[in-house]
DNA sequence: TAATAAAGTTAGGGAACCCTAATAATAATT
DNA sequence: AATTATTATTAGGGTTCCCTAACTTTATTA
């Protein structure tokens, strides 16, 4: 048996957390719709996650995160949110694309880079805002550039 | 047969381009060392790339990119370089980590985000450098923050 | 409640990646 | 040139992720 968790499996845990927040209970069908895959695919991954103690699910029943699963889900969600904010607010990318990109790269960035992104956000938010209005300048610049294409 | 090229396959093409630049000829062994995988694994992927016309290789011979393969390799390399520069110079991440992260996420970012990163680099390089010295400020800030941990 | 609909599970297959072990071919060395 | 060492290839296995089709269980509703 494999000990290591994959990016896809982390995404499943995050999805379960998000669906739980919104719909109270989580079903195979919800996850299948979330990732736009078939139920049988979800089932397979869930069995894997079950085996390793990240989720609990009775046969034909609802899906729940264990403590272990919740910890990972929250962690992924935090990174996801951070990255989305960065890509959207700092880089000036549209909300939808920022969300998509964040989701794809959240598993692949080192702690060092994530920390620096966090600091970048904090820095631009708190320090630079009044001093130079860099975000405003940058966004104006970006939009001018892109619109003129 | 599948038409779509995977991230890993794109990385192979880029690696072949880089090895070619440095060593004139590209062998299975070079690629295996580059990715730290076994020769048999490389062989398998190369067969796939051959079938689809991205590379040419005679049995037991050197590996060469086709036009089609070169186009993709250069494209990946360009993205890779751009991202490394961004992560290293703008975010202030160490060279090695920036390189690693760039390699991992280069396949997953939308054109929109990449364009904005490019503009960000251009913007900070050309416009802000004299005006506010933001890069310098930011790096000082980051390093103070990180050192104090 | 019985019949239909919806959701979950199982079985069987395919593609990408990765490995080990065995074999074939090429390179290097004595 | 013949032997040894290095490289490349093939064969056989394993995991993840995704699918279709068949089947079971749970929900709905007539």
Contact between B93 and A104 using a beta-carbon 8 Å cutoff: no
Q: Residue B50: its pLDDT value, please?
A: 96
Q: Give the C-alpha separation, A90 to A129, whole Å.
A: 12
**Does the pLDDT of residue A143 top 60, yes or no?**
no
Confidence of residue B35 (pLDDT cuts 50, 70, 90): very high
Lowest mean pLDDT among A21-35, A112-126, B127-141: B127-141
pLDDT tens digits, one per residue of B90-104: 888 999 999 999 999
Over residues B109-128, the mean pLDDT reads 80
Mean pLDDT calculated for residue range B33-39: 97
Domains present along chain A, CATH in parentheses: 7-71 (1.10.10.10), 79-147 (1.10.60)
Q: Which residue is nearest to nucleotide C10 (CA to C1')?
A: A40
Q: What contacts 24+ positions apart, CB below 8 Å, involve A67-74? A: A69/A13, A69/A16, A70/A17, A72/A5, A72/A10, A72/A13, A73/A10, A73/A13, A73/A14, A73/A16, A73/A17, A74/A17
Q: What's the pLDDT at A120?
A: 81
A146 interaction partners in chain B (CB closer than 8 Å): 115, 119
Bridge pairing between strands B55-57 and B63-65: antiparallel
Chain A residues touching B113 at Cβ < 8 A = 87, 91, 93, 97-98, 101
**Range among A81-85, A90-94, B3-7, B65-69 rated most confident:** B65-69
Per-chain mean pLDDT for chain B: 85
What is the SS3 assignment for A1?
A: coil
- On the question of pLDDT at A141 being above 50, the answer is no
The minimum CA-CA distance between B32 and chain A, rounded to whole Å, is 22
Which of B75, B62, B55 lies closest to B27 in space, CA to CA?
B62
Q: Would you call B85 helix, strand, or coil by DSSP?
A: helix
């Amino acid at each position: 048996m494999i000990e290591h968790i994959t990016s896809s499996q982390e995404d499943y845990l995050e999805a379960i957390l998000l669906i739980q927040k919104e719909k109270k209970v989580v079903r195979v069908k919800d996850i299948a719709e979330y990732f736009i895959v078939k139920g049988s695919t979800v089932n397979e991954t869930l069995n894997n996650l079950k085996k390793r103690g990240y989720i609990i699910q009775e046969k034909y029943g609802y899906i729940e995160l264990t403590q272990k699963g919740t910890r990972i889900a929250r962690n992924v969600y935090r990174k996801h949110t951070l990255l989305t904010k960065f890509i959207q607010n700092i880089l000036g990318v549209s909300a939808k694309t920022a969300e998509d990109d964040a989701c794809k790269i959240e598993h692949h960035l080192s702690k060092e880079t994530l920390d620096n992104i966090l600091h970048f956000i904090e820095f631009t938010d708190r320090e630079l805002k009044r001093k130079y209005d860099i975000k405003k300048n940058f966004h104006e610049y970006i939009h001018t550039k892109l619109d003129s294409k």
